[in-house]
Amino acid sequence: MTARRPRAGERGNTLAEFAVVLTGAMLLLFGVIDFSRAAYTYHLLSNAARLGTRYAIVRGSACTFSGCPASASDIQTYVRGLAGELNTSSITVDTTWATSTGCSGSPYQGPGCQVTVQVSYPLHLMVVPLMPAFTMTISTSSSMIISQ
């Protein structure tokens, strides 16, 4: 077998096709990496919100050990401590106690009252190096009833 020699107008065709395919493959690769980072961050924040809510429900106004009742700043410090892989200063933690029948005081931290912890984090995506920086805010929340 003999190799076919490229015609005069076909020289460099392979290099151009490779550049087009490589660009598409790199966009796909960076997209998969960013999607994976976003899913990981959401999972981490979701777990931190759940554990922060758990921290709040066992430290209501009726608990008997130190650190009770839990304040919003205590919960924020606890949640930020759970997300060590992220920039903890960028994590926003909002804690709210729901006002409902039978819940009195301010904040409403008695047994049977509801507490909600909402956590958000700005994730900087690296989708395409040619595009301007894109930031996506990932947020999640968790609500539970105070047990003590």
Residues 25-72 pLDDT 10s: 988 888 888 889 999 999 999 999 999 999 988 887 777 777 788 888
Position with higher pLDDT, 33 vs 7: 33
Q: Could you tell me the residue ranges of all domains in the chain?
A: 15-145
pLDDT at 8: 63
pLDDT of residue 98: 80
34-to-15, 30, 67, 103 alpha-carbon distances in Å: 28, 6, 39, 43
The more confidently predicted of residues 103 and 137 is 137
**Encoded tokens for 135:** 């930031």
**Long-range CB contacts (< 8 A, 24+ apart) of 35-39?**
37/123, 37/125, 38/123, 38/125, 38/136, 38/138
How many angstroms separate the CA atoms of 50 and 56, rounded? 10
| 28 Cβ neighbours under 8 A, 6+ residues apart | none
**Quick one: DSSP state of residue 65?**
S
What is the rounded CA–CA span in Å between residue 27 and residue 103? 53
Question: Three-state DSSP class for 35?
Answer: helix
85-95 residue pLDDT tens: 899 999 999 99
